Amino acid sequence: MDAARPKTDRTWRGFARTLLLSVAGLFVGYLAVVVPVDPYDTGRSTLLSRGAVRPQGPRTASAVRGRDPAYTGAVIGNSHIQLIEPAALSRLTGIPFVQLSVPATGPMEQFALLGWFLQHHARPDAIVLSADAFWCADDPAFPSEHGFPYWLIGDWPGYLRGLIRFSAAQETVNRLGWLLNPHRKTAAVDGWWDYERNYLGQGFGIDPAKKAALDKPVGSEAEPHHGGPFPIADRLRAELGRIPARTPVVLVFPPVYARGEPSPGTPRAAAETACRAQVRSVLAAHPLSTVVDWRDGRPEASDPEEFFDQTHYRLPLARSLTIEIAAAIVRLRTRMTE
């Protein structure tokens, strides 16, 4: 019986070795397929790039849009700046713009997208950043309730780890099917998404209950309640250091409906004012920068017809904001040539 034990041990070791080699072979074989296919068209492999964007959400589509050399200007933020039409900015400034805004994101995700854009555009012609209330959070990690594919726009090791998931395998199949379809549908290359129809379809601007919610005063219990310093200051300072000194940077405080503003004299109002002042101060260190502030009590902010809810405005207001952003960029570029 003792003589049989070594033989049994050798058998189990052989089985374990075979199993491990088989699993390793499967992983290598899988990566050998998925890396050349590049399911989200990150540009790490251009073997199957077709110069088009496959229909998908902006969270993943930003990988292909952000690396596109055709665009030398970028708008980065979330749904509070997403109605800025890049083609309109391009017409007004002469700079080809891409929309890299992703709904339900905060500074962490937005700065990651900025880094991806800068990685593929060493000397961009302009950067537009949207600084909403999420920028004034107290937690320096700026946590989000929604997932974000940092691996998709990160380094190679992180990218390879990110590919080892079911969703990536599924998207590999989807991309191959899309490439083989002679009548394949495409998404807007510049990232333009007019979500006004989506809001109207949900009853915003029409439903009496939603209209009533628009005029509900904002509570004063939400953070922050202090005067700083705010974590966004150090993060913004670091990010601005990555942007070339001769690249115009426009930072936008996007419109908020008047009833959505904290009441004057409350701790929240003081805190938000202090946060925006700190952001302005940090931004001023960049030699070609300016702020477009739509939280300065403009009459448009009191018009309920201009808003779907307290932080999402409609196209007419977005067009006015677009014109102001474009004018700011033109002024900065003129200053650059003086």
DSSP per-residue codes, 129-185? EE--GGGG-S-TT---SS---GGGGS-HHHHHHHHSSHHHHHHHHHHHHHHH-TT--
How confident is residue 6, by pLDDT bands cut at 50, 70 and 90? low
Question: How far is the C-alpha of 120 from the C-alpha of 184, rounded, in Å?
Answer: 27
Structure confidence at residue 201 (pLDDT): 86
The strand ranges marked E within 200-320 are 249-253, 289-293
291, 289, 140, 231 alpha-carbon torsion, rounded to 10°: -70
Runs of H (alpha helix) within 181-230: 196-201, 208-214
Give all strands of the β-sheet with 249-253 in edge-to-edge order. Answer: 97-99, 73-76, 126-130, 249-253, 289-293
How confident is residue 12, by pLDDT bands cut at 50, 70 and 90? low
Kindly state the DSSP code that residue 57 receives in the 8-state scheme: -
Report the share of the chain in percent with pLDDT over 90: 74
Question: How far is the C-alpha of 196 from the C-alpha of 323, rounded, in Å?
Answer: 19
Structure confidence at residue 15 (pLDDT): 60
- Secondary element (H or E) of residue 126: strand 126-130
**In angstroms, what CA-CA distances link 262 with 74, 219, 220, 223, 267?**
31, 7, 6, 11, 9
Count of CB atoms within 10 A of residue 254's CB? 26
- Secondary element (H or E) of residue 76: strand 73-76
Single-letter amino acid code for the residue at 30? Y
By CB atoms closer than 10 A (0-12, 13-18, 19+), residue 106 is buried
Helix 58-66 to helix 107-120 angle (10° resolution) is: 30
Average pLDDT for the chain: 91
Tokens 């540009």 sit at which residue? 43
Q: What is the mean pLDDT of residues 182-187?
A: 94
Structure confidence at residue 278 (pLDDT): 96
Kindly state the DSSP code that residue 40 receives in the 8-state scheme: T
Q: Is the pLDDT of residue 222 over 80?
A: no
Question: What region, left, alpha or beta, does residue 10 occupy, with left being phi > 0 and alpha being psi -120 to 50 degrees?
Answer: alpha
Q: What is the mean pLDDT of residues 252-281?
A: 93
Residues sharing a CB contact under 8 Å with residue 60, sequence separation 6 or more, in sequence order:
40, 149, 152, 171
**In angstroms, what CA-CA distances link 305 with 223, 261, 298, 315?**
28, 17, 14, 11
Looking at domain 50-144+185-337, its CATH superfamily turns out to be SGNH hydrolase (3.40.50.1110)
Domain boundaries, the chain: 50-144+185-337
Structure confidence at residue 50 (pLDDT): 86
How confident is residue 68, by pLDDT bands cut at 50, 70 and 90? very high
